[in-house]
Amino acid sequence: MDIFDALFSASQARVLLFLSRNTGEAFFEREIVEATDVSRSAVNLATRALHKTGLIHRDHRGRMNFYRVNELHPFIRQFKTLDTIASLETLLVELRSLSRQIILFGSRADGTNAQSSDIDLFILSSEREKVMKIVGRYRLKYPIQAMVMNNQELVEMKEKDAAFYAQVKRGLVLWEASDELGT
């Protein structure tokens, strides 16, 4: 069980998590029941409540209701980012001893990712081969694009590719080593 499962095990959260992981797709209640292992009555109550809050949209087609996540809602964007961070927790624990800084950047950092979007990680480390080996054996539903650089390469990137450097720095710092003074 990952952090997300522990925090969000209630029916509404499970329904919202399923819909947010399938951005752009609409599902009717039975499909949500099958995908989430939540009872039909709980899915019905959850979709009603989530629709009232504006977190999901409901579309009527014939006699059926289809539900999809409201991608424009700011909570959904943060929810999707939190889901990504939770899925990375085991990897982050493994990488901490080899890294000075780990940053999530790109669409998964700002919650605008599509279902097929990869996970963009910037890892500041002098142990590129070890880091890449760990990342390479780590399996998620989404591919991980890891960019591993040492301090000198980071300085060079800042000078030669300022736009990319800025994009990385706008990302979310998932882990950062503290200095010897504990700051």
pLDDT in tens, 38-66: 999 999 999 999 999 999 999 999 999 99
Report the predicted TM-score, pTM, of the whole model to 2 decimal places. 0.85
- Spell 144-181 as b/e; 16+ CB within 10 A means b: bebebbeeeebeebeeeeeeebeebeebeebbeeeeee
At 42, phi and psi to the nearest 5? -70, -40
- Long-range CB pairs of 115-121 (<8 Å, 24+ gap) are 115/21, 115/22, 115/23, 115/24, 115/25, 116/142, 117/142, 118/142, 118/143, 118/144, 118/145, 119/84, 119/88, 119/143, 119/144, 119/145, 120/145, 120/147, 120/171, 121/88, 121/145, 121/146, 121/147, 121/174
Q: Which pLDDT score is estimated for 8? A: 58
CA-CA distance, 102 to 88, in Å (whole number)? 11
pLDDT tier, 31 (very low <50, low <70, confident <90, very high otherwise): very high
> Backbone phi, then psi, for 21, in 5-degree steps?
-80, -10
CB 104, CB 121: distance < 8 Å: yes
Tokens linked to 132: 């890449």
Q: What is the DSSP letter of 78?
A: H
* Rounded average pLDDT over 102-106: 98
Q: Give 101's DSSP letter.
A: E
The angle at the Cα of 124, spanning 88 to 120, to the nearest 5 degrees, equals 45
Tokens of 59: 């579309």
Query: Can you give the pLDDT at residue 108?
Result: 97
| Mean model confidence pLDDT for the chain | 92
pLDDT for residue 80 is more than 80:
yes
Q: Which residues contact 135 (CB under 8 A, 6 or more apart)?
A: 91, 95, 121, 123, 144, 146
